[in-house]
Amino acid sequence: MPPKIPVPPALHDIFESLRETAKTGHVDFFAQFIADTKSEGTPQFTLIGGAKVADGTRFAGGVTEILNQLKDRPGMARMDLSIDTHAGVTFHRISPAGLERDEGAQETFGSKPAFYLGLGSQAVWFALGGADALSQLKLVIDRANTEPVARPDRRDFIPFQFHLHMKKWIELGEANGEKRMTRIE
């Protein structure tokens, strides 16, 4: 039997937190697009999400350690660590250069989109969007912390639930379709 390769402490912390989360028997996770209107009237979106994690402090420490090790490596996305805190959550901003040059990403998320990662003692949060993404994520965190969460009983158990509000997506498609048609002509 080959010798075991030691697991770095940061990865060990992440996987132990995920193992404890799995032991609870359920995963609380959500993702949503929030639509806002640009000055030209076309919608701009922010993708926001979060998940509860058991021993989030351990998870956050492991992720932060890995980000610290990666941030100065050549070819990595720009990483601004610990840029802000809110309600016990520490935020990191990751700005992949390719995302800033991606025309589709800019049409959807606005100019200079970035990925925000929020790490707290009970949850991991994320947002992908433009300048307002972090403030929108903070509002969602506040709502999650103040609104009571009623868990369905076994009779009402719904393993997955999807809500689609398509109006802003249709507006985005129509606006982008018009832009693309004028480029083709």
Cα–Cα distance, 99 to 103 (Å, whole number)? 8
The DSSP result for 20-65, as a single string, is: HHHHTS---EEEEEEEEE-TTS-EEEEEEEEEE-TTHHHHHHHHHH
What integer best gives the mean pLDDT of the chain? 82
Cα–Cα distance, 34 to 154 (Å, whole number)? 31
Q: What is the pLDDT of residues 124-133, one digit of tens each?
A: 999 999 888 9
pLDDT value for 115 = 95
Q: What is the pLDDT of residues 49-91, one digit of tens each?
A: 999 999 999 999 999 999 999 998 988 899 999 999 999 999 9
Distances 105 to 14, 120, 122, 179 between C-alpha atoms, Å: 30, 28, 30, 15
pLDDT value for 184 = 41
Buried b (16+ CB within 10 A) or exposed e, 23-52: eeeeeeeeeebbeeeeeeebbbbbbbbbbb
Residues of the chain with pLDDT under 50: 180-185
Cα–Cα distance, 65 to 170 (Å, whole number)? 41
Q: Which residue is listed with tokens 């609870």?
A: 24
**pTM, rounded to two decimals:** 0.78
Cα–Cα distance, 141 to 117 (Å, whole number)? 13
Cα–Cα distance, 89 to 60 (Å, whole number)? 10
Determine contact, residues 10/102, Cβ cutoff 8 Å.
Answer: no
